[in-house]
Amino acid sequence: MMLLPNHLSGRWTSGTGTGSVLRDPVLGTELVRVDATGLDLPAGFAFARTQGAAALRELTYRARGELLAAIAKVLQANRDAYYEIATANSGTVKGDSAVDIDGAIYTLGTYAKLASTLGDRKYLFDGDATSLAKDGTFQSRHFLVPTRGLALFINAFNFPSWGLWEKAAPALLSGVPVVVKPATSTAWLTQRMVKDVVDAGVLPAGALSVVCGSSAGLLDALEPFDVLSFTGSAETAATIRSHPAVAQRSVRTNIEADSLNSAILLPGEDATSPAFDLFVKEVAREMTVKAGQKCTAIRRAFVPESLYDATAAALNARLGKTTVGNPRNETVRMGSLVSRAQLQSVRDGIAALRQEAQLLHDGDTHGLVDADPGVACCVGPTLFGVRDGDAAHIVHEREVFGPVATLVPFRSVEHAVSLVRRGQGSLVSSLYGSDPAALADTAIELADSHGRVHVISPDVASSQTGHGNVMPQSMHGGPGRAGGGEELGGLRALNFYHRRAAIQAGSAVLAALAG
């Protein structure tokens, strides 16, 4: 079985241990093996900080943007191979693989274009100069300069492609080298993409590294000017926050954790209205895309009390048409979860929700297509409902990371907002209705507890980008239990990889800095 090598210190190197086996989650077959035992992480990180960072900082933003465009071309040229890996290692149907793979290429292209707006500079301005003297001869101006460290990404299993490049694009554009540690269970796609880019000679040595396997020692190797981005569970995030690298050495950290995202159908609609139809379609789509394994997927769906039964019936009918099983079969619309461990986690979550919620659509009624139920990590879309959202607890506290959602009725918009906030901070909430004023008022009311509010009305039905699709132009992240982090948002993403400093000097010096 092939052992995937790691790339560190500008060279490919294999671990010295037995490592972990990656499996096909539908067929159960062994695919490849990964291992990071015995790697000299401090030396590899030092190489990235010195060789990789120095070469990147010599380039202007425009030139670094050209590197991103070149990376996108490499990925586009190898796209078919990535789809094959995604099917085999993640169990995704073609459309779901596209969210990950093509979404990554699109994000790289977006940042390549944004680079041209920054021009031939090596640092950025943050506001205008402010006078510190009565005669205006001595002033202060804030600048953003690339951090001298590296960017370590500890990524989740659900987006092995997009999860890398949505972070790497702004990091590399900022002039900061990247070390990525993909989740072990789906590391193959990340490793292959890094290998293709490295082999193509697009980036300077040390600008892009990958460590597959155990994360042991990664945080120990971080230094004060490094930055760390983590996507995963709140439990692991808490461990990271207490690590000496963060707690003592002040490594800047961005965290994306659990998120009980919501969808709300505003009052004033009925079961025949276009907004109702948009709501039902989006909830069902978000439950089934990537088998619900998206950090932005809808977990709680809120509707007026008068529409609870009609919504339950409409969702049940739509979900019942979802074919589940082997993604290689063209009739299958939803593939598998990524591993046996994830399958057990989802089953445990379903069992927990059964304690307080009514089963409205049973995922076990879906027979698997071209897949052995005893082997495949498949579970059908499962919809729960609670009549009293105030009395419910598990629904507002536990995220089941799979094709699972809960329908909850509300009495008023204020009541709906209060129930949504019991999620304690989320990545995204989506609103559905046809009254612009009501949609606007509710959106701004939800903004303090969400990173993004996605508003869908009939007039944007054909142009809206989707509740769960993370577009590089908009911020991705959320407060509270969602981790408190911020990613993307156009050029805002570069702030994480820059250090802000005030330079106090005479007007002539500041004019020279302004070019």
Residue 326 phi, psi (nearest 5): -70, 120
CB 308 within 8 A of CB 416: no
For residue 133, the model assigns a pLDDT of 93
Token readout for 501 is 């400093």
Supply the DSSP symbol for 334.
Answer: B
Residue 426 half-sphere exposure, CB side, CA atoms within 13 Å? 31
* Residue 463 identity: S
pLDDT in tens, the chain (515 residues): 789 999 999 999 999 999 999 999 999 999 999 999 999 999 999 999 999 999 999 999 999 999 999 999 999 999 999 999 999 999 999 999 999 999 999 999 999 999 999 999 999 999 999 999 989 899 999 999 999 999 999 999 999 999 999 999 999 999 999 999 999 999 999 999 999 999 999 999 999 999 999 889 999 999 999 999 999 999 999 999 999 999 999 999 999 999 999 999 999 999 999 999 999 999 999 999 999 999 999 999 999 999 999 999 999 999 999 999 999 999 999 999 999 999 999 999 999 999 999 999 999 999 999 999 999 999 999 999 999 999 999 999 999 999 999 999 999 999 999 999 999 999 999 999 999 999 999 999 999 999 999 999 999 999 999 999 999 999 999 999 999 999 999 999 999 999 999 999 999 999 999 98
For residue 143, the surrounding DSSP H or E stretch is strand 138-146
**In the chain, helix, strand, coil percent, each to 5?**
40, 20, 35
For residue 215, the model assigns a pLDDT of 85
For residue 515, the model assigns a pLDDT of 82
For residue 73, the surrounding DSSP H or E stretch is helix 61-77
CB 145 within 8 A of CB 121: no
* Rounded CA separation 190/473 (Å): 23
Return the CATH number of the domain spanning residue range 262-473.
3.40.309.10
Write the DSSP assignment of 221-265 as a string of letters.
G--TT-EEEEES-HHHHHHHHHSHHHHTT--EEEEE-----EEEE
For residue 307, the model assigns a pLDDT of 98
378 catalytic per annotation: no
For residue 1, the model assigns a pLDDT of 72
CB 16 within 8 A of CB 38: yes
Helix axis angle for 162-174 and 61-77, nearest 10°, is 160
Q: Where are the beta strands (DSSP E) in 321-471?
A: 324-325, 358-361, 368-369, 382-385, 404-410, 426-432, 450-456
For residue 66, the model assigns a pLDDT of 98
In the chain, what are the domain boundaries? 3-257+488-513, 262-473
Nearest of 434, 471, 169, 463 to residue 296 by alpha carbon: 471
Give the pTM. 0.95
Catalytic one of 166, 212, 256, 269: 256
* Rounded CA separation 15/387 (Å): 53
CB 404 within 8 A of CB 362: no
Catalytic one of 166, 269, 286, 295: 295
How many residues appear in the chain? 515
* β-bridge pairing 404-410 and 227-231: unpaired
- CA diameter of the chain: 80
256 catalytic per annotation: yes
For residue 80, the model assigns a pLDDT of 97
Same fold, 3-257+488-513 and 262-473: no
* Rounded CA separation 375/367 (Å): 14
Return the bridge partners of 383, or none.
361, 405
How far apart, in Å, are the Cα atoms of 127 and each of 40, 117, 425, 496, 504? Answer: 42, 17, 30, 17, 14
Which CATH topology does 3-257+488-513 take? Answer: Aldehyde Dehydrogenase; Chain A, domain 1 (3.40.605)
